[in-house]
Structure 1
Amino acid sequence: MVVGELTQERDLVILGGGPAGYTAAIRASQLGRKVTLIEQAQLGGLCLNKGCIPSKVVAHAADIKQQMNHMSALGFSFNPTHDFSQLAEYRERTIRQLRTGVESLCQANAIEVVHGTASFLADDRIGVELGHQFDTYRFNDVVIATGSHSIEQDSPSVLNAEQLYQLSELPERLVIIGQDYIAIEAAMSFQALGTSVTLIADTFGLDPSLEKELRRLFKKQKIQLVTGTVTAIEADGEVTVTVVKQGQETTWSAPFLFQSLPRVPHTLELGLERIGVTLAEDGTIPVDPFGQTNRPHIYAIGDVTTGPAIATRAIHEAKRTAEHLAGQLADPTVPYYPTIIRSLPPIVSIGLTEQAATDAGHSIRTGQFALNANGATMIEAGSGFIKVISDATTTLILGIHMIGEGAVELAGVFSQALELHAKEEDVRFPVMPHPSRNEAWTEAVESLLGQAIHLPPRQQDVLTKS
């Protein structure tokens, strides 16, 4: 190993080049800090290279495939076939283009990018190893944004989330164990592309109205939904999963099993305990509202801290912490993080469910607008609904839950409504384009009062609960 002769002086060092890391680096540079970004693999992190982007490429292809029936109704005649290997090439090309974009942005913002594996030598020094080279850096501040990873199994037939979306051939059959957004997306995407999918899950943690519609869609899309307790997994060639429900045992086999398990933060190899940084039992790093650890110049953001392991949280925390480190008056308020599921059709859930709202002491109203009463949705042969929960006393919007095409795009509108503490009248007043799904959002709120224009009275009974 070749050790650098001198310890190099740096201002702000950021560990990890994923959404949290490169966002913090760019924002801090914009605000005048001299930034060194250290990444052990590829800029963009697991999210861009093996997670968020690859999975959404597959979901996009599945969505296009599902639209084929509607295309024939519009007068198009063709008999398309699907080449999964070509989709895999498109996936890799998209990843390369986005990664190149991140690299260019770092260069344009005068961010020094160092490749290698980092570990703390002291609370103001870090070592970086790359092959036989080992360099040391002394910093004024450091931000830990090393992200997380899925648990990797010994068997090549048992896949984690990253491995599932690195497949170059479409599996004939796939068993999925999981109830989170990753499991739902994978089940619907692979089934749409031609895989026979079995999904083992009891509940999905969504508002009951979404759960009911989701189960209907699984049946319609011919996804085998199995409930019960997994008692055994055997991986010998094919994978066999044993499930027990009410004393009855069933087995489900496939060439591959994808099990969506909790992610593991990348913290244990950083040497944090050596310098006195507190670690929780699950490996996450406790921080204050600005991301500061128990050591004054050491910060942590994204998946290495407690909270949902999602890119939106990582990006938000990156901007907040970078602004704080630049001496700005950063807002420590935790925002509403919407649950986004790229299912077929997509789902968004933000704010309180009915149960959570009543448990919190609200007297609530609920309104639900079916998208088959919306012109834009009918033109595209879509379905679904928007459900709104409000406080019956204050009229404050408490929660919004949608399943249907356009949900991902409307998620930002829903987030803004909750962040701005919108009341019913704030949503009802603005004019929306026609025809558009924005009108369905307005009518969902109008249905809280039984005043939706495109729903008959019997479908918008005003329901108040305490």
Structure 2
Amino acid sequence: MKEISCKLLVVGAGPGGYVCAIRAGQLGVDTVIVEAGKPGGTCLNVGCIPSKALIHAAQEFEKAGHWAARSDVLGIGVENPSLDFAATIAWKDGIVSRLNSGIAGLLKKAKVKYVQGWATFRDGKTVSVETETGEQVIRAETVVIATGSAPVELPFLPFGGPVVSSTEALALRQVPQHLAVVGGGYIGLELGIAFAKLGARVTVVEALARVLPQYDAELVRPVTKRLSALGIEVLTGAKAKGLSAKGDALLVETSDGRDKRIAADRVLVTVGRKPVTAGWGLDQIDLDMAGRFIRIDEQCRTSMRGIYAIGDVTGEPMLAHRAMAQGEMVAEIVAGQRRSWDKRAVPAVCFTDPEIVSVGLSPDEAKALGETRIGIFPFSANGRAMTMQGEDGFVRVVARADNHLVLGIQAVGQGVSELSAAFSLALEMGARLEDIAGTIHAHPTQSEAFAEAALKALGHALHI
């Protein structure tokens, strides 16, 4: 049995964990990171990156088919577009592999020791790791828990066979003929739209009254319009009940109480994610919990001295960039710097078609705090959006009525994920409507809609 000691031990090499370890190494902290799988965690290996690769490939394939059918629109003719899905998956896997290697190289550059295996806590300072060469014990002065999250499994639709989570969906070797998606949140719709563009017949089953319930109806409307255009059937107020006896269909109870059978060679269950708090010895360190999550303070400290927790295991929002920011902060605290979590907003992006971005407060959340000014500028009045055939959508700015402090910014439209940095920066810098409106935005770009929305809130939009 091998034993090593270190200043900092990071358990989990997902976005939060590897960023924490790299930053700690840069600051001269003797750091060890343990990961059971490949570096990058869910986001890189079976989440953010591979899903966006699949979404992009699906978009390009759908676009090719669109021009084949309507070459008169732009004068572009494409004949008989075809899909080699195996090649698509190989391309996606190649991107993941390159990024895996990149993270491993960055850890090495920062002088972080990487241990592959499953870590189990013995106490608050010690873990044992089952590696390929046997058990290794690691003792650390400080520990960071970054164990992430996993898909929620439904008892009546257990994963296996035709029932898959997002993890298996991203590893399919052929496009399903019929795909039933249980759960109309962002994961379900992102993948459902992608597979519909690749040729699958897709049905979405959502128990609530509408899809994407975490976003307001105004933002979701262009997405539901696109779902219809893609031929995706959406059943809201419906409850999945299980598989048919032959396993070739999903059984559903519709909103009016009728039973419905949905043909499906694959059933994708996307009803949420849960923190990974089992299997690594949480009972040995007895941390305070906040429901299913590990309770932390504004510095990501847990209830036990010398133990921090970051990322999905600590609660919502379960976003990679939140975990990364927390990991960087914790590394600097361990190195002796003064830091705390004082973020004004964490941006959320839904990579549907069209995309949705939300930063800060929604209109309803802002109105609950007092009077507001809201400005909306449609992409149908934006020249660049027109040239991209992306007129469906808008940018919305929400601000206080008295001093015009911006409280929230949202957008829906083609490629609006790339506006998320500008939106976040505005909130982090404490921008007012006049700051945004007075900033020169390049023409012709979709970002002009941001300035125009601020002008609209001030009462004098120029282009609408």
TM-score, length-scaled by structure 1: 0.92
Q: Distance in 1 between matches of 2:315 and 2:192?
A: 27
Q: How far did residue 154 of structure 1 move? A: 4.2
1:103 maps to 104
2:428 maps to 419
Residue correspondence of structure 1 range 310-349 to structure 2 within 5 A = 310-349=319-358
Q: 1:98 to 1:414 in 2, by over 3 A?
A: same
The percent of aligned pairs where both chains have the same amino acid is 33
Q: How far did residue 281 of structure 1 move? A: 4.2
Deviations 1:112-155 (A, max 9, x none): 10111111112221111124611112111111111111145243
The answer on whether the counterparts of 2:240 and 2:250 sit within 8 Å (CA) in structure 1 is no
Q: Distance in 1 between matches of 2:126 and 2:252?
A: 50
2:167 maps to 162
Q: 1:275 to 1:448 in 2, by over 3 A?
A: closer
- State yes or no: 1:242 paired with 2:237: no
The answer on whether the counterparts of 1:303 and 1:310 sit within 8 Å (CA) in structure 2 is yes
Q: Distance in 2 between matches of 1:154 and 1:97?
A: 29
The answer on whether the counterparts of 1:157 and 1:239 sit within 8 Å (CA) in structure 2 is no
Q: How far did residue 239 of structure 1 move? A: 2.9
Unmatched 5+ stretches in structure 1: 456-466
2:394 maps to 385
2:456 maps to 447
The answer on whether the counterparts of 2:159 and 2:165 sit within 8 Å (CA) in structure 1 is no
- State yes or no: 1:18 paired with 2:14: yes
Q: How far did residue 267 of structure 1 move? A: 2.1
The answer on whether the counterparts of 1:351 and 1:398 sit within 8 Å (CA) in structure 2 is yes
Any idea what SS the aligned residue of 1:38 has?
strand
2:63 maps to 67
1:460 maps to none
2:267 to 251, 257, 269: 257
Deviations 1:299-338 (A, max 9, x none): 1101111222211111111111111111112132144122
2:446 maps to 437
Q: How far did residue 213 of structure 1 move? A: 2.2
Q: Distance in 2 between matches of 1:28 and 1:150?
A: 30
Deviation larger for 227-236 or 317-326: 227-236
Q: How far did residue 193 of structure 1 move? A: 1.4
Deviation larger for 20-29 or 331-340: 331-340
Letter paired with 1:9? S
Q: 1:210 to 1:92 in 2, by over 3 A?
A: same
Letter paired with 1:374? N
Q: 1:355 to 1:151 in 2, by over 3 A?
A: closer
Deviations 1:325-384 (A, max 9, x none): 111121321441222011112111122222112222x21222211112111111111122
Q: How far did residue 274 of structure 1 move? A: 1.6
2:46 maps to 50
Q: Distance in 2 between matches of 1:259 and 1:154?
A: 8
- State yes or no: 1:368 paired with 2:373: no
Q: Distance in 2 between matches of 1:29 and 1:131?
A: 25
Q: Distance in 2 between matches of 1:429 and 1:306?
A: 37
Letter paired with 1:366? I
The answer on whether the counterparts of 2:193 and 2:352 sit within 8 Å (CA) in structure 1 is yes
Letter paired with 2:269? Q
The answer on whether the counterparts of 2:205 and 2:240 sit within 8 Å (CA) in structure 1 is no
Q: How far did residue 247 of structure 1 move? A: 3.2
Any idea what SS the aligned residue of 2:443 has?
coil
Q: How far did residue 214 of structure 1 move? A: 2.1
Q: How far did residue 60 of structure 1 move? A: 0.8
2:186 to 181, 201, 210: 181
Unmatched 5+ stretches in structure 2: none
The answer on whether the counterparts of 2:21 and 2:31 sit within 8 Å (CA) in structure 1 is yes
1:134 maps to 135
Letter paired with 1:184? L
Q: Distance in 2 between matches of 1:160 and 1:444?
A: 39
Q: Distance in 1 between matches of 2:125 and 2:361?
A: 42
Letter paired with 2:359? I
Q: How far did residue 212 of structure 1 move? A: 2.2
The answer on whether the counterparts of 2:176 and 2:200 sit within 8 Å (CA) in structure 1 is yes
- State yes or no: 1:83 paired with 2:92: no
Q: Distance in 2 between matches of 1:16 and 1:390?
A: 39
Any idea what SS the aligned residue of 1:10 has?
strand
Count of matched residue pairs = 449
Letter paired with 2:400? D
Deviations 1:177-223 (A, max 9, x none): 21321112112111111111111223222122112222222212221
The answer on whether the counterparts of 2:22 and 2:112 sit within 8 Å (CA) in structure 1 is yes
Deviations 1:71-129 (A, max 9, x none): 94333322221221111111111111110111111111111101111111122211111
Deviation larger for 153-162 or 414-423: 153-162
Any idea what SS the aligned residue of 2:254 has?
strand
Any idea what SS the aligned residue of 1:67 has?
helix
Letter paired with 1:305? T
Q: Distance in 2 between matches of 1:413 and 1:170?
A: 36
Letter paired with 2:334? L
2:34 to 35, 38, 41: 38
Letter paired with 1:81? S
2:281 to 266, 271, 275: 271
The answer on whether the counterparts of 1:158 and 1:239 sit within 8 Å (CA) in structure 2 is no
Q: How far did residue 70 of structure 1 move? A: 6.2
Q: Distance in 1 between matches of 2:285 and 2:250?
A: 45
Q: 1:122 to 1:331 in 2, by over 3 A?
A: closer
Q: Distance in 1 between matches of 2:298 and 2:182?
A: 35
Q: Distance in 2 between matches of 1:120 and 1:12?
A: 14
TM-score, length-scaled by structure 2: 0.93
Any idea what SS the aligned residue of 1:90 has?
helix
